[in-house]
Structure 1
Amino acid sequence: MDIQPDQITNYADKFINVLIDYSPKLISALLILFVGLYAIRLINRIIRKIMIKRNLDPTLTKFLADILLWALRILLFVTFISKLGIETSSFVAILGAMGLAVGLSLQGSLSNFAGGMLIILFKPFKVGDTIEAQGVIATVSEIQIFVTKLLTANNQTVFVPNGALSNGNIINYSMQGERRADLTFAISYDSDIKKAKDILLDVLNKNPKVLKNPAPEVFVKNLTSSAIEFAVRPWAKNENFGAVFTETLENCKTALDQAGIDVQPFTIGASKNL
């Protein structure tokens, strides 16, 4: 089919007329988009500062700020397409259908979102706490909408889904502020029990990081076929727990050796988190 020059000119004129007629809507929509994005960042920053100033929990502050950010972005997007002349009622219906389909395919993600809400509301832990959950012992670095970010003692970052986290067992080592190290020392049957007990207790009392209240404990835990087992239980602040654990092991072994007490070739530490 031959295209006449008059047809090309006619199509070009129509295109230019449509572009001229539509350009105010396009320009205003783009202006709303860019101004809206800047305003959202500004509002989000202000809201964060207000919540921080009011000493709101850091975990709750970030969580609420993230939800507000996405809500404002969705509102801006609806305003943007409405300004372009697209019927929002039809778009909302399409969006609803898409949301249902996406929701059915992303049930795990919705479960993680609900889990995040439960964590925020009931606060089994907060940012900075050391917890044990889902086979991981680590410090809570960040609670996000779908996952919780953990940092292990060897500086590895672990992301745990909030759904699994909220439905599983959680051990919070930081909630009470103080922890007890449960250690076991084994000595031979030829050793003086009272002397060994006094030495172990003296080691605990001389360590300034060991708390006086609750008082440290040393007692005979078990009589095995080859050794006498002593339970050694010092208390410490959370921030000093690792140091107390390792210092107690070292100092008790050194003190028993200096006293000539035969330490059996195994020592059991009942804590996994240093």
Structure 2
Amino acid sequence: MNGNIESYIQQATDLVVTYGVKIVMAIVIYIIGKWIAGVVARLLERLMNARSVDPTISSFARNIVYYILLAMVFISALGQLGVQTASFVAIVGAAGLAVGLALQGSLANFAAGVLIILFRPLKIGDFVEAGGAAGVVKEISIFSTILTTGDNKTIIIPNAGITGGNITNYSTQAERRVDFTVGVGYGANLDLVRKELEAIAAEDERIIQDKGITIGLAELADSSVNFAFRVWTKTENYWAVFFETNEKIKKRFDVAGIEIPFPQMDVHVSKD
């Protein structure tokens, strides 16, 4: 009886010595490897930030590098335990394929997020129209892009919805053209209209004179003679110039006696 107990104790001791060391080594490999992965990922992010790389790109690269290194550390720890890592990698690959088929939409959004980060059709702070919505880009993540509208609504758009359609970025160019359609009555003095529009453009310091001012008769409409009035300004001044110039046109035309007509219909009643 005592011999059997001693045999069991010896076997248990051998198991502890054999596998205990492996378990401890696996834990050490995982802890140290995870720490190194974090250090490398943070160092990469600092280097990219020092080179003025877009924060979205540096954050994305840090996460990708960290998880790739962490996966390598995990496989190394399993190898230390005696697990056949080749078989394990094959199982993980098969499981990844199954999950990928089940999450095709998410993978499409992930791929679209990578494309947005790499080719940068939009960036944080840009005012864009994309995915059927318009707003300022607040965040670009791996799976979605967040916009904030002018009335402070938050719109979350899947990245695939952005790359799958047209993207209009109003913030890319430093200058934008502001277009106005100015309607006057058929009895108006066209030379006077042109003179007043030229004065409005000349008096506004935000309007870029070197880009040229366009004033042309665009249409003889049903109720008005329509002028095309086009000026250039810095992108950040676009809406201020648009709103204030419309107000200036109305006020100056009132003073100059230039009629701004509104749609009307003359009804003639005949007596039989």
What is the TM-score when the length of structure 2 is the normalising length? 0.80
Question: Contact 2:45–2:59 (CA<8 Å) still a contact in 1?
Answer: yes
Question: Contact 1:201–1:217 (CA<8 Å) still a contact in 2?
Answer: no
CA–CA separation in structure 2 for the residues paired with 1:19 and 1:216 = 87
**1:107 matched residue in structure 2:** 104
Choose from 206, 215, 227 the match for 1:218. Answer: 215
Structural mapping, 1:75-94, within 5 Å:
75-94=72-91
**2:181 matched residue in structure 1:** 184
**1:50 matched residue in structure 2:** 47
Change over 3 Å in CA distance of 1:159–1:25 after alignment to 2: farther
Gaps of at least 5 residues in structure 1 are 1-8, 267-274
Structural mapping, 1:6-17, within 5 Å:
none
What is the CA deviation profile of residues 94-137 of structure 1, one whole-angstrom value per residue up to 9, with x for unaligned ones?
A: 11111110111122222223223333343333333322112222
Change over 3 Å in CA distance of 1:231–1:22 after alignment to 2: same
Cα deviation for residue 149 of structure 1 reads: 2.9
CA–CA separation in structure 2 for the residues paired with 1:159 and 1:39 = 35
Change over 3 Å in CA distance of 1:181–1:22 after alignment to 2: same
Cα deviation for residue 47 of structure 1 reads: 0.7
1:169 pairs with 2:175: no
Change over 3 Å in CA distance of 1:134–1:80 after alignment to 2: same
Cα deviation for residue 85 of structure 1 reads: 4.4
Percentage identity across paired residues of the two chains: 39
Choose from 238, 251, 258 the match for 1:254. Answer: 251
Change over 3 Å in CA distance of 1:63–1:88 after alignment to 2: same
Gaps of at least 5 residues in structure 2 are 264-272
1:73 pairs with 2:91: no
3-state SS of 1:209 partner: coil
Which amino acid letter does the alignment assign opposite residue 193 of structure 1?
L
CA–CA separation in structure 2 for the residues paired with 1:86 and 1:202 = 82
3-state SS of 1:63 partner: helix
Question: Contact 1:129–1:139 (CA<8 Å) still a contact in 2?
Answer: yes
Flag the structure with larger Rg.
2
**1:5 matched residue in structure 2:** none
The alignment yields a C-alpha RMSD, in angstroms, of: 3.0
3-state SS of 1:181 partner: strand
1:240 pairs with 2:237: yes
Change over 3 Å in CA distance of 1:262–1:94 after alignment to 2: same
CA–CA separation in structure 1 for the residues paired with 2:116 and 2:22 = 44
3-state SS of 1:184 partner: strand
Question: Contact 2:223–2:262 (CA<8 Å) still a contact in 1?
Answer: no
Cα deviation for residue 171 of structure 1 reads: 1.5
**2:120 matched residue in structure 1:** 123
Choose from 222, 227, 231 the match for 2:228. Answer: 231
Structure 1 residues 67-76 or 43-52, which shifts more? Answer: 67-76
